[in-house]
Structure 1
Amino acid sequence: MRAVSAVPEERPLTLVTLPPSRTQRRLALGVVLASLIAFSIVAGPLSTFQLPRIDAFVPCYGTAIVVNDLITAVLLLNQSAISRSRATLAVASAYLFAGLMVIPWLLTFPGVFAPGGLLGAGLQSTAWLSVLRYFGFPAFIIGYALLKDADPPRGSWEGSVGATILSHVAMSTAIVCIATVLVIASDAYLPAIAIDRVHFSTFWRYLASCLIVWCAVAITLLWFRRLSVLDLWLMVALCAYAIEIYLSAFVGPARFSAAWIAARIFGFVSSILVLSVLLHEITTLYTQLLRAVLAHRREREARLLTGDTVSASIAHEIKQPLTAIAASAKAGLNWLDRVDPDPNVDRARDALRRVEAAGQSADAVIENIRAHFKVGARTHASLDIDDVIQGALAAVRDRLRIHRVAVRADLHGLLPRITGERIQLQQVLVNLMTNAIDAMAMTNGERVLFISSEVRDSGYVMVSVEDTGNGIATDAVDRIFNPMFTTKPDGMGMGLSICRSIIEAHHGRLWVTPNHGRGAMFHFTVPIASGSAC
């Protein structure tokens, strides 16, 4: 089993809070190893290789970095608006600062827009703007690492989301503008990094060493703090940052060398790493949200279908005793309304008794349905299956008489007792008998209802109900037990589905087999009670 770090319920699911998965850790390690392999190749065989100057490379590189960093900053600002986290604002400001700093670096780069650069830049302006970018990005990341685990009063902010974000954007822009003005204005007084428009001085190596250590400090703080998905990929980005600085200072201390070009490529990789992860995680979260919405809709539809099914099952089960009540009451009234000869009180009394029995049956059905939805409410008892069959035959006696259906019962008489609920098993038999009677009512031939019970070798008692109706169509056999499927013009399609669920709840099985003559044959099994014998 894989251990999963839990996110507190009050904390939103963002990259700042989500722990990295094992796959993400392996992927990050793979990116670092691939970067080190590429670094070793560049620092070895290609260290002295000088490429021809490509004027279009610098503006293309600068534009790509600006676009990547600003898009990353926008996505992180949206994350901070969701989480109201100062730490997320800090890392968003890091990418905003790094992206904006590339703009003056690009404008002042010698030979891109002007031989000496724009904005009145001097020889050292471009190099020092690059140094400030290399220093500022890890500085913001360090601030993020220190803020991310702060107490909620210090680590979160209140008030208008838009105003807070705009203030941080304005602050980052102001820092970039002030730094650019100061660097250009003090160009003549800055320590020399560039010897000319191509080569760098030895001082750049000492400064680069300090910047690499600065990146290592940021990586260390992220490592020892609570690690999240964002922390993991920020560490990878800082590793690429450190490699970029090392290649620029120690391997290719000259512009447009192979190492300098490779350093720019590492800079591009560093800018696109977190952006790619953000896009991937946002897409993943969106996919999960979409699946959750679809699952919620399916659950809602299932609840509606369940409600329809329950109401249909209740109506189906209550309809039979209510029909019996109405028929018996009508018969009793007919016997009492007779004038010549005198009213038959005895037959009217029998009809009223059937009304009472049907009413009790309806009450038992209702209680049984209620118990069906209560956990632990079902109680099984030892039963004689033949008694259950006789009770079901008594319940459909009037329907048998009306449709002139003969009954042939082949009951064993000495069957072992079973364990079950009398009302539920009687419901199954009444449903099967009623379906058989309705099927035979539409035929003109012999109408016989066959009922039999026997012992199966596997420790079950099997009951069979057979009719002489028109049978079941071949294409309907596989669907006949599905809810809402019916072959009757006025059927609800719930009877056989309810019967199967009842039998399965008794650990038995209900199925249909084709009749060799005509009609249909339904069978169900119920386990024999433990300790019972023939």
Structure 2
Amino acid sequence: MVTEDRTAVSEILLTDLPPTRRQTRAAIAVLLIVLVGFAAVVPFSDRPVVALNAFFPSLDAIVLVTDLITAVLLYAQFSISRSRSLLALASGYLFTAFIVIPHALTFTGAFTPTGLFGAGPQTGSWLFIFWHVGFAVALLGYAISKDAKHDGLASEAPVGREIGWCAATVVALVIGITWLTTAGEALLPPIVLDGSRLSPFVIYPIWFTILITAAGLTVLLIRRRSVLDLWLIVVAAVFIAELAFSGLLPTVRFSAGFYAGRVFSLITSSIVLIILLAETTWLYVHLARSNDVLQREQHNKLASMEAMAALIMHEVNQPLGSILTNVETMQSMLESPTPNISEIREIAADINRDDVRASEVLRRIRTLLKKVPFEVKPIELNENVRQAVAVLSGQAAARQVDVSTAIGPPLLPISGDRVQIQQALVNLIVNAMDAMSEIPASRRRLTIQTSLRGEFAEVAIADAGPGIPPDKLQGVFEPFVTTKAHGMGMGLSIARSVIEAHNGTISAHNQPRGGAVFRIRLPLRKS
């Protein structure tokens, strides 16, 4: 279980994410810019420039900050992936961050004429060499170990302990190198002659460092898999250009090439940091968006469940309400001294009919929610309207609603699901009754009219209520939109779904004299 979790997390790390086309183009663009800059400076690389000793401690301070932050971010990635290659690379950046401290303090002419800590004229130059050799070794170590079998999840040692040992080793190494280049300066061959000219010997450590870097670059080109690999290739190329300016092309210190090499040092130390920050931010944006989408999906699922519950309640309440009314009426009749058996039989038949209708409603809702195509059968719309009115006659009488019907042509043949269309009609009629619940009983008039409109059969249901508020008229058929104080806003939505599924249309508008009228149009059945 732990392995699966870590594997899932590692899939979002820069060591595992493959570079996109956009990232590849960006890396190529940076590399081309650097190469153009390198080619432009080469002809002037040996031209002397004014010595700016204060420039180098400032540059070292920038490298210290950038490389230290990069090391921390890489250690953080290692703590997740447990990749030995990341541990090596992070330690390399930590080494460069720490070694620039004595490099800045011992630089000739920066703080003292000869540098602090008893530094000599060769101290700064040798620290520079060790600085670059150390980073080249770390880069090669990353490239070689990134695909090793022990990489990734093999190590279960505490992360803090491993990082601590690496940091302690780096600090000890920096201290040892600092001692060697200061107290043991006499043991090292001279690199700087008479304060300005470079010794011919400098080409050997520079070429040695370039070869190590080139080996790492070659391995990365062969094994390139991730975003980090892509940008480390750019780093290695810039690093080689920096080394060329540091001892191969110029023969004197403080030349144009000498300063260009220091500028390349800034580029080398900044590339991975910028990419880590940019890609981490991009991943965070994606994570935030994914989380937002997940929350919306959860909300939509909850809303769908609420809609389903409201749908079932709304549809089943009608036949259940009729059953309850009939049961109460039957109980009242049975308690009388001379119950009318004939009327009781009629009531029992009504109860049985409503029970069948409730079961049919539930079955139709299940079909609707599963999006199963309904069964198309011939229907006579006028007869369907009469049945819907008959089903609701008891409710109309209980609510004191005067229902009048104006049936049009003898036959209005359509095709579809008889129960679904009848349920849509029932919803509209009940909605019209509800709209008149607050007006005096003497004004509660409901008119249902059928007619022929070209190739369509039309049903118009008009009430005498207050009408639909103008701000809700456009969205009256949307789910959960209701004009009633205790309405659920599902009846009209269900009616629209049913009518549109039968290739028909449904509309609503207010009448000039008050009240609302709903019109259903369904295509006539072709013979």
TM-score by length of 2: 0.91
Residue 353 (structure 1) aligns with: 349
Could you give the per-residue CA deviations for residues 302-359 of structure 1, whole angstroms, max 9, x where no partner exists?
23322222222222112111211122222223333344xx322212221221112112
Q: Which of 78, 88, 91 pairs up with 1:80?
A: 78
Paired with 1:240 and 1:153, the residues of 2 have a C-alpha distance of: 27
Q: Which of 359, 366, 369 pairs up with 1:363?
A: 359
Shift of 1:142: 1.5
Paired with 2:249 and 2:421, the residues of 1 have a C-alpha distance of: 88
Matched, 1:502 2:503: no
Paired with 2:329 and 2:221, the residues of 1 have a C-alpha distance of: 88
Which stretches in structure 1 are left out of the alignment for 5+ residues? 1-6
Residue 478 (structure 2) aligns with: 482
Paired with 1:404 and 1:290, the residues of 2 have a C-alpha distance of: 55
Q: Is the CA contact (8 Å cut-off) linking 1:32 and 1:236 kept in structure 2?
A: yes
Residue 37 (structure 2) aligns with: 38
Paired with 1:359 and 1:79, the residues of 2 have a C-alpha distance of: 65
Over the aligned positions, Cα root-mean-square deviation in angstroms equals 2.5
Could you give the per-residue CA deviations for residues 218-272 of structure 1, whole angstroms, max 9, x where no partner exists?
1111111032110111111112111111122244333332222221111001101
Q: 1:306 to 1:446 in 2, by over 3 A?
A: closer
Residue 278 (structure 1) aligns with: 276
Residue 179 (structure 2) aligns with: 181
Q: Helix, strand or coil for the counterpart of 1:181?
A: helix
Residue 343 (structure 1) aligns with: 339
Shift of 1:431: 0.5
Matched, 1:428 2:432: no
Could you give the per-residue CA deviations for residues 287-307 of structure 1, whole angstroms, max 9, x where no partner exists?
222222222322333233222
Paired with 1:214 and 1:470, the residues of 2 have a C-alpha distance of: 88
The letter for the 2-side match of 1:19 is: P
Kindly report which structure 2 residues correspond to 1:45-444, keeping only aligned pairs within 5 A, or say none: 46-151=44-149, 156-339=154-337, 342-374=338-370, 376=372, 378-402=374-398, 403-419=400-416, 421-441=417-437, 442-443=439-440, 444=442
Q: Is the CA contact (8 Å cut-off) linking 1:86 and 1:155 kept in structure 2?
A: no
Matched, 1:26 2:25: yes
Q: Helix, strand or coil for the counterpart of 2:443?
A: coil
TM-score by length of 1: 0.90
Paired with 1:409 and 1:94, the residues of 2 have a C-alpha distance of: 91
Shift of 1:187: 2.2
Could you give the per-residue CA deviations for residues 477-500 of structure 1, whole angstroms, max 9, x where no partner exists?
012122222111222222112222
Shift of 1:461: 4.5
Q: 1:446 to 1:322 in 2, by over 3 A?
A: closer
Paired with 1:308 and 1:384, the residues of 2 have a C-alpha distance of: 35
Q: Helix, strand or coil for the counterpart of 1:366?
A: helix
Could you give the per-residue CA deviations for residues 419-474 of structure 1, whole angstroms, max 9, x where no partner exists?
3x3332222110001112222442543613223153654xx544332333332222
Which stretches in structure 2 are left out of the alignment for 5+ residues? 1-5
Q: Is the CA contact (8 Å cut-off) linking 2:75 and 2:87 kept in structure 1?
A: yes
Q: 1:288 to 1:64 in 2, by over 3 A?
A: same
Deviates more, 1:445-454 or 1:166-175: 445-454
Shift of 1:503: 2.9
Residue 4 (structure 1) aligns with: none
Residue 467 (structure 1) aligns with: 463
Paired with 1:264 and 1:86, the residues of 2 have a C-alpha distance of: 30
The letter for the 2-side match of 1:433 is: I
Paired with 1:51 and 1:238, the residues of 2 have a C-alpha distance of: 27
Paired with 1:514 and 1:525, the residues of 2 have a C-alpha distance of: 18
Q: Is the CA contact (8 Å cut-off) linking 1:200 and 1:254 kept in structure 2?
A: yes
Could you give the per-residue CA deviations for residues 379-423 of structure 1, whole angstroms, max 9, x where no partner exists?
44443333432332222111223324222132434334313x333
Paired with 1:137 and 1:525, the residues of 2 have a C-alpha distance of: 79
Q: 1:329 to 1:26 in 2, by over 3 A?
A: same
Q: 1:263 to 1:516 in 2, by over 3 A?
A: same
The letter for the 1-side match of 2:215 is: V
The letter for the 1-side match of 2:61 is: T
Deviates more, 1:484-493 or 1:176-185: 176-185
Q: Is the CA contact (8 Å cut-off) linking 2:83 and 2:153 kept in structure 1?
A: yes
Paired with 2:152 and 2:340, the residues of 1 have a C-alpha distance of: 93
